[in-house]
Amino acid sequence: MSKGKRSYRACPIGRIRRTKADISAIRTAIHDVIEDDPPMTVRQVFYQLVARGVIEKTEEQYQGTVIRLMTEMRLDGSLPYSLVVDESRRVRITKTYDSLDDAIEQTANFYSSQRPRASSGLHRNLVREGRTRRSPLGRDL
């Protein structure tokens, strides 16, 4: 085996690659679609591009074109994150407080707003320190 430079030929990929102008046109179309009805999911943008004849309705176009380009556009700052929503993820928001007093106050307000009203027909159990207990009807046991 010789130690000279090796040259490699590009492997045929069986599809026609888009030009930079084609990619630019798709990026512009993505902007146009989202501007018409923001915010949108990636799938909504995909179907709008299909309906407008910009791309074909294939999984390759969805993943290889729309998802890829929208990701690049978000990362390079040309597509604000706020214009793309992901409704498939469950949002978890952790409640935080400024201080212990704030936590106690807000917790007390939450529970006082949750208690049953007299007209609801429900009775409260009172929990008190000591040996005295009350029944659900409010009588001493």
> In whole angstroms, what is the distance from residue 58 CA to residue 60 CA?
5
**pLDDT value at residue 121:** 55
CB of 99 closer than 8 Å to CB of 48: no
* pLDDT for the residue numbered 88: 73
Provide the H-helix boundaries in 37-125. 42-51, 59-61, 68-75, 100-114
Do 66 and 30 meet the contact criterion of CB atoms below 8 Å apart?
yes
Q: According to the model, what pLDDT value does residue 128 have?
A: 53
Q: Residue 134: what pLDDT? A: 54
Task: Yes or no: say if 70 and 45 are a contact pair by the CB < 8 Å rule.
Answer: yes
Share of residues in the chain with pLDDT > 90 (%): 47
pLDDT, greater one: 108 or 4: 108
pTM of the model: 0.54
Looking at residue 10, its pLDDT comes to 62
- Of the candidates 110, 88, 87, the one whose C-alpha atom is nearest the C-alpha of residue 97 is 110
Q: How many other C-beta atoms can be found within 10 angstroms of the C-beta atom of residue 34? A: 20
**Would you give the distance in Å from CA 113 to the centre of its chain?**
31
Structure confidence by residue, pLDDT tens digits, 42-98: 999 999 999 999 999 999 999 999 999 999 999 999 999 999 998 776 777 788 888
